């Protein structure tokens, strides 16, 4: 997966203007991959032992998850993110092509288009809805999907953006500059 995220980073970088740091995020089914740099090749690539399906299976025994399950998942994700904390405060543009993150952006109210920008504040608002769901509010009234994979994807994205200090994430369509990240780890949240 490390080689795949590096290739995708190079494709993305070649489609963008020179300058500025870019960080590419892929939340797969079993792993999360990150590549970051300023040139055509990433300066750093990381594969984290957390993915949407894996996190859901490892921590969420109920739907909705219990408050304890959610808190345990948060702690595990935070621990795993320690390996990429050097990316924090790097003034990087965070990008993805993940269909699940696109769905999250649309659910957060971002206007549909070839490229969406999802703010960390919008992610936090969605996470607040997830928390209300965990505390007993029906998923339909919370306005979020009632499945553990969605909950895990949102949790990973929230923790990544929060702890690494990303203000927003650019989400591109398959036709956009990020094309083809889906399924890099043989699974995915497509």
Gyration radius of the chain over CA positions: 16
Q: What is the pLDDT of residue 89?
A: 64
Contact assessment for residue 94 and residue 168, using Cβ atoms and an 8 Å cutoff: yes
The alpha carbon torsion through 156, 159, 165, 166 (nearest 10 deg) reads 30
pLDDT tens by residue, 138-154: 767 777 898 999 999 99
Which H or E run includes 32?
A: strand 32-37
Contact assessment for residue 156 and residue 77, using Cβ atoms and an 8 Å cutoff: yes
Identify the three-state secondary structure at position 22.
Answer: strand
Q: pLDDT tens per residue, the chain (190 residues)? A: 899 999 999 988 888 877 789 999 999 999 999 999 999 999 999 999 999 999 999 999 998 899 999 999 999 999 999 989 887 667 889 999 999 999 999 999 999 999 999 999 999 999 999 999 998 887 677 778 989 999 999 999 999 999 999 999 999 975 444 444 444 554 433 3
Q: What is the pLDDT of residue 189?
A: 34
Q: Kindly list the structural domains of the chain, giving each domain's residue range(s) and its CATH number in brackets, ordered by start.
A: 51-172 (3.30.420.150)
Backbone CA torsion sign across 190, 59, 77, 49: negative
């Amino acid at each position: 997966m490390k080689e795949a995220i590096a290739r995708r980073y190079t494709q993305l970088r070649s489609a963008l203007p020179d300058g500025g740091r870019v960080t590419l995020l892929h939340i797969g089914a079993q792993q999360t991959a990150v590549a970051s740099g300023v040139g055509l090749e990433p300066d750093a690539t990381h594969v984290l032992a957390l993915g949407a399906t894996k996190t859901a299976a490892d921590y969420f025994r109920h739907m909705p998850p219990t408050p304890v399950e959610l808190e345990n998942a948060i702690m595990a994700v935070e621990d795993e993110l320690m390996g990429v904390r050097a990316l924090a405060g790097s003034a990087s543009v965070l990008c993805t092509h993940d269909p699940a993150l696109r769905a999250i952006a649309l659910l957060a109210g971002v206007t549909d288009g070839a490229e969406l920008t999802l703010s960390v504040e919008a992610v936090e608002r969605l996470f607040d809805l997830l928390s209300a769901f965990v505390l007993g509010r029906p998923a339909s009234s919370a306005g979020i999907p009632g499945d553990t994979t969605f909950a895990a994807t949102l949790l990973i994205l929230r923790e990544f953006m929060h702890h690494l200090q990303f203000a927003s994430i650019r989400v591109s369509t398959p036709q956009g500059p990020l094309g083809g990240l889906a399924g890099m780890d043989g699974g995915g949240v497509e």
